[in-house]
Chain A
Amino acid sequence: MIALLIRDLQLAFRAGGGFGLGLAFFLIVTVMVPFAVGPDAAGLAVIAPGVLWLGALLACLLSLDRLLSLDWEDGSLDLLATAPLPLEGVLTIKALAHWLTTGVPLVLAAPVLGVLLHLPVAGYFWIMLSLLIGTPALSVIGTFGAALTVGLKRGGLLLSLLVMPLYVPTLIFGAEAARRGALGLSGDTPLLMLAGISLGTIALLPFASAAVLRVNLR
Chain B
Amino acid sequence: MSIWEYANPKKFLRTTERVLPPLWLASAVLIAGGLIWGFFFTPDDYRQGATVKIIYLHVPSALMAINAWFMMLVASLIWVIRRHHVSALAARAAAPVGLVMTLIALLTGAIWGQPMWGTWWAWDPRLTSFLVLFLFYLGYIALWQAIDDPDTAADLTSILCLVGSVFAVLSRYAVNFWNQGLHQGASLSLDKEENVADVFAYPLYVCMAGFILFFIVLVLYRTGTEIRARRMSALLARERMSE
Residues of A within 8 A of B (CB): 144, 148-149, 151-152, 154-155, 158, 161-162, 164-166, 168-169, 172-173, 176, 190, 193, 197, 205, 208, 211-212, 215-216, 218
Which listed residue, A155, A158, A166, touches B164 by the CB 8 Å rule?
A166
Q: A166-B167, A176-B177 are in contact. List 20 more A-B contacts (CB 8 A).
A: A144-B163, A148-B160, A151-B147, A151-B152, A152-B146, A152-B147, A161-B142, A162-B139, A165-B164, A165-B168, A165-B171, A168-B174, A172-B178, A173-B174, A176-B178, A193-B174, A197-B170, A208-B159, A211-B159, A216-B152
- A164, B135: Cα distance in complex, Å: 9
For residue B226, CB closer than 8 A to chain A, the reply is no
Give the contacts of B152-210 with A (CB-CB under 8 A): 152, 155-156, 159-160, 162-164, 167-168, 170-171, 173-175, 177-178
For residue B54, CB closer than 8 A to chain A, the reply is no
For residue B138, CB closer than 8 A to chain A, the reply is yes
- A166, B160: Cα distance in complex, Å: 10
Q: Are A190 and B177 in contact (CB under 8 A)?
A: yes
Residues of B within 8 A of A (CB): 132, 135-136, 138-139, 142-143, 146-147, 152, 155-156, 159-160, 162-164, 167-168, 170-171, 173-175, 177-178
What are 23 sample pairs from A and B whose C-beta atoms fall under 8 A apart? A144-B163, A148-B156, A148-B159, A148-B160, A158-B139, A161-B135, A161-B138, A162-B160, A165-B135, A165-B164, A165-B167, A168-B132, A168-B170, A169-B173, A172-B171, A176-B177, A193-B174, A193-B177, A197-B170, A211-B159, A212-B155, A212-B159, A215-B155
Q: Are A166 and B174 in contact (CB under 8 A)?
A: no
- A169, B173: Cα distance in complex, Å: 8
Majority DSSP secondary structure for residues of B touching A: helix
Q: How many A-B residue pairs have CB under 8 A?
A: 76
Q: Are A158 and B146 in contact (CB under 8 A)?
A: yes
Majority DSSP secondary structure for residues of A touching B: helix
- A164, B162: Cα distance in complex, Å: 16
Find chain A residues with CB under 8 A from B163 CB.
Answer: 144, 166, 205, 208
Which listed residue, A151, A154, A168, touches B171 by the CB 8 Å rule?
A168
Q: Are A169 and B171 in contact (CB under 8 A)?
A: yes
- A150, B61: Cα distance in complex, Å: 35
Look across to chain B and name the residue whose beta carbon is closest to the beta carbon of A168: B171
Look across to chain B and name the residue whose beta carbon is closest to the beta carbon of A155: B146
- A56, B164: Cα distance in complex, Å: 22
